[in-house]
């Protein structure tokens, strides 16, 4: 480990300028803060947290939609973190307190089992390519789904095209990469390293990125080769493709990103909650679906603001009283910063 840090220090001096590296995976964010990686890096190497938390990037409109379905008497199941995300109409937890049937599940398989007892159960599906396959399997097995699933790469493209922050290199998401492989990242034309989730993995990834930056290279390197293959997992991608098709997707902090959402295909439309309960959703006033007042989660997601610089952080907004989703999810930048007392 000491040898890695010494090599990073040497490269940082040779580069001789400020370098911004962005991690775009919530698990990497946790690893970086847990082991204090930011604190041991040279001062000119900055790690910035990007949109790697699936719960955090879920649009306020989708939160308000699923809460309204629950309040209208439709039973809803989803993962634990998603229950606590506040929307204009409250959270799913608050809907449950008002008498709505809301269930937290550990897996899609749990939701499929629950559906045997509650036939009209709706599963709130969210996340990137990592969680999408199980939701697709659920739909294939008759589960009704409200899909807020997203394709990750378009968000990275959006970050670069928006030009709000200089990004010198990406620490690519390990879990997503297991599914999509290395090839899709090539078009970004920026130094990238797919890394694993141990401290040494992340440090090796940083070293590989700095080598590329020094040599003015723009390759996709695979430090996580023990799990990620060049072609990814084609079987899983076939399952996703059978059930979902790409559509414009709405992201918190970004707005609409073209072809970044996953829409349920017509052949499975009977299991699409947006179709099945379109009459309920048509009555919802989504003009009210805006980020909570004062919440800077959107800026944090895009790497424009460190969590601790949000005026609500640690004062009004805390894990037991989250104002925005970045403080709700264990992968959220604000939650991570609060738990480890590090930015």
The answer to the question of residue 113 being in a domain is yes
The model carries a pTM of: 0.94
- Provide mean pLDDT across the span 258-282: 98
pLDDT band at 291, cuts 50/70/90? confident
Spatial distance between the Cα atoms of 338 and 343, rounded to a whole number of angstroms: 8
127 in the same domain as 80:
yes
Please state, rounded to an integer, the average pLDDT across all residues of the chain.
Answer: 96
Spatial distance between the Cα atoms of 175 and 20, rounded to a whole number of angstroms: 22
Domain CATH number, residue 41: 3.40.50.11750
179 in the same domain as 71:
no
- The closest of 212, 214, 224, 204 to 188, measured between CA atoms, is 212
Name residues whose C-beta falls within 8 Å of residue 24's C-beta, 6 or more positions apart in sequence.
50, 51, 52, 152, 155, 156, 170, 171, 172, 173
Domain CATH number, residue 254: 3.40.50.11740
Domain span including residue 257: 55-152+233-287
Task: Return the percentage of the chain with pLDDT > 70, whole number.
Answer: 99
248 in the same domain as 133:
yes
pLDDT band at 343, cuts 50/70/90? very low
Number of independent structural domains in the chain: 3
Q: What is the DSSP string of 22-58?
A: EE--HHHHHHHHHTTHHHHS-TTEEEEE-S--HHHHB
136 in the same domain as 246:
yes
SS3 194: strand
DSSP-derived letter for residue 184 is G
User: Checking phi first, is residue 216 left (phi over 0); if not, alpha (psi -120 to 50) or beta?
Assistant: left
- The closest of 290, 305, 282, 304 to 252, measured between CA atoms, is 290
The answer to the question of residue 184 being in a domain is yes
Q: What is the DSSP string of 127-151?
A: ESTTTHHHHHHHHHTT-EEEEEEB-
218 in the same domain as 246:
no
CB 168 within 8 A of CB 20: yes
Query: What end-to-end distance do the CA atoms of the chain give, in Å?
Result: 22
């Amino acid at each position: 480990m000491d040898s890695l840090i010494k090599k990073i220090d040497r490269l940082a001096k040779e580069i001789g300028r400020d370098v911004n590296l962005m991690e775009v995976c919530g698990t990497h964010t946790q690893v970086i803060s847990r082991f204090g990686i930011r604190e041991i890096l040279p001062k000119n190497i900055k790690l910035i947290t990007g949109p790697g938390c699936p719960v955090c990037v879920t649009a306020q409109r989708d939160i308000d939609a699923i809460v309204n379905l629950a309040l209208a008497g439709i039973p809803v199941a989803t993962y634990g973190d998603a229950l606590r995300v506040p929307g204009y109409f409250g959270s799913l937890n608050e809907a449950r307190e008002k008498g709505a049937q809301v269930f937290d599940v550990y897996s899609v398989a749990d939701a499929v089992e629950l559906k045997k007892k509650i036939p009209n159960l709706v599963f709130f599906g969210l996340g990137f390519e990592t969680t999408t396959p199980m939701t697709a399997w659920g739909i294939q097995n008759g589960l009704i789904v409200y899909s807020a699933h997203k394709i990750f790469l378009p968000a990275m493209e959006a970050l670069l095209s928006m030009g709000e922050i200089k990004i010198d290199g990406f620490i690519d998401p390990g879990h997503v990469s297991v599914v999509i492989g290395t090839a899709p990242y090539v078009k970004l034309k920026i130094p990238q390293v797919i890394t694993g989730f141990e401290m040494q993995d992340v440090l090796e990834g940083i070293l590989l990125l700095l080598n590329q930056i020094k040599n003015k290279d723009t390759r996709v390197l695979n430090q996580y080769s023990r799990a990620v293959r060049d072609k990814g997992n084609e079987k899983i991608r076939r399952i996703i493709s059978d059930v979902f098709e790409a559509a414009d997707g709405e992201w918190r902090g970004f707005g609409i990103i073209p072809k970044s959402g996953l829409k349920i295909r017509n052949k499975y439309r009977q299991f699409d909650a947006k179709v099945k309960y379109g009459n309920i959703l048509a009555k919802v006033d989504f003009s009210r679906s805006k980020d909570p007042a004062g919440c800077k989660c959107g800026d944090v997601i895009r790497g424009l603001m460190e969590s601790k610089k949000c005026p609500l952080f640690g004062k009004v907004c805390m894990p037991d009283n989250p104002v925005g989703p970045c403080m709700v999810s264990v992968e959220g930048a604000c939650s991570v910063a609060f738990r480890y007392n590090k930015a």
